[in-house]
């Protein structure tokens, strides 16, 4: 079933190593086939270097495994909450990349300090509220997804394709599994730049709205001018 999606998800997971976004077996990428109502996700604790498409696990939107001999990622329930809340996304990536995770552990959003950030994310990268003890005791992974969705009540997840889960790390999404990985790479880079900028100048202020909108919309807005015209 869904051999193409499993190959894409496998390639996206292996790309995490290529981009140095993960160590050991930390992190995972998933993809969804909306028509089939199935999610393809990395199996739990499996080394990226040896990952093969046939090892990718398929699960339905209730989290029931429908294909695969291995146990799915422990973060499956988090991915499910995002897919159910946001029908426009097709891929999700979770890493513990160092700079983005440092901001998450500090429970600080990543401020938009320059145009490199504004080219890809429309404002500061938000951080969720911490989970309560009750939320951690029961349905921890699903509640992680719920606090992410709650964070985006007033934010379009297509304009801000990343979030920092407090004390945990980044979750990033896109219109495909590979796009989610690309957005994770971009997130780590702007987190690194923000950290260095704030080290050089702790009083560095955020980018003004006019310049933020200019850079974001010229690349992602309805009248975007960046790149080549589509044929």
3-state secondary structure the chain: CCHHHHHHHHHHHHHHHHCCCCCCCCCEEEEEECCCCEEEECECCCCHHHCCHHHCEEEECCCCEEECCCCECCCHHHHHHHHHHCCCCCEEEECCCHHHHHHHHHCCCECCCCHHHHCCCCCCECECCCCCHHHHHCCHHHHHHHHHHHHCCCCCCCCCCEEEECCCEEEEEECCHHHHHHHHHHHHHHHHHHHHHHHHCCCCCCCCHHHHHHHHHHHHCCCCCCCCCCC
Smallest Cα–Cα separation from 5: which of 34, 26, 25, 28? 34
Say what the pLDDT of residue 73 is.
96
Among residues 60, 99, 119, 139, which one is catalytic? 119
**Could you confirm whether 226 is annotated as catalytic?**
yes
Instruction: Say whether domain 3-220 belongs to CATH 3.30.9.10.
Output: no
Say what the pLDDT of residue 231 is.
65
Say what the pLDDT of residue 220 is.
83
CB 160 within 8 A of CB 152: yes
Say what the pLDDT of residue 197 is.
98
Say what the pLDDT of residue 223 is.
79
Among residues 60, 140, 150, 226, which one is catalytic? 226
Smallest Cα–Cα separation from 166: which of 189, 194, 142, 144? 144
What are the extents of the domains in the chain?
3-220
**Could you confirm whether 99 is annotated as catalytic?**
no
pLDDT string in tens for the chain (231-residue length): 799 999 999 999 999 999 999 999 999 999 999 999 999 999 999 999 989 999 999 999 999 999 999 999 999 999 999 999 999 999 999 999 999 999 999 999 999 999 999 999 999 999 999 999 999 999 999 999 999 999 999 899 999 999 999 999 999 999 999 999 999 999 999 999 999 999 999 999 999 999 999 999 998 878 777 777 666
């Amino acid at each position: 079933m869904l051999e193409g999606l499993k190959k894409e998800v496998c390639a996206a997971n292996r790309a995490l190593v290529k981009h140095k976004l993960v160590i050991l077996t930390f992190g995972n990428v998933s993809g969804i086939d909306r028509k089939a109502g199935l999610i393809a996700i990395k199996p739990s604790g499996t080394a990226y270097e040896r990952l093969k498409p046939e090892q990718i696990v398929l699960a339905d939107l209730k989290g029931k495994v429908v294909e695969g001999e291995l146990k799915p990622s422990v973060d499956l329930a988090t991915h499910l909450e995002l897919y159910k809340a946001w029908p426009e996304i097709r891929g999700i990536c979770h890493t513990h990349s160092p700079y983005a995770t440092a901001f998450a552990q500090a429970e600080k959003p990543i401020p938009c300090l320059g145009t490199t950030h504004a080219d890809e994310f429309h404002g500061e990268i938000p951080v969720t509220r911490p989970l309560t003890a009750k939320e951690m005791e029961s349905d921890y992974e699903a509640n992680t997804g719920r606090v992410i969705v709650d964070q985006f009540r007033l934010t379009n997840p297509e304009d801000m394709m990343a979030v920092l889960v407090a004390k945990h790390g980044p979750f990033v999404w896109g219109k495909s599994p590979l796009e989610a990985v690309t957005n994770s790479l971009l997130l780590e880079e702007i987190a690194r730049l923000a950290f260095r900028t704030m080290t050089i100048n702790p009083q560095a202020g955020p980018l003004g709205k006019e310049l933020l909108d200019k850079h974001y919309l010229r690349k992602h807005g309805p009248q975007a001018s960046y790149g080549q015209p589509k044929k």
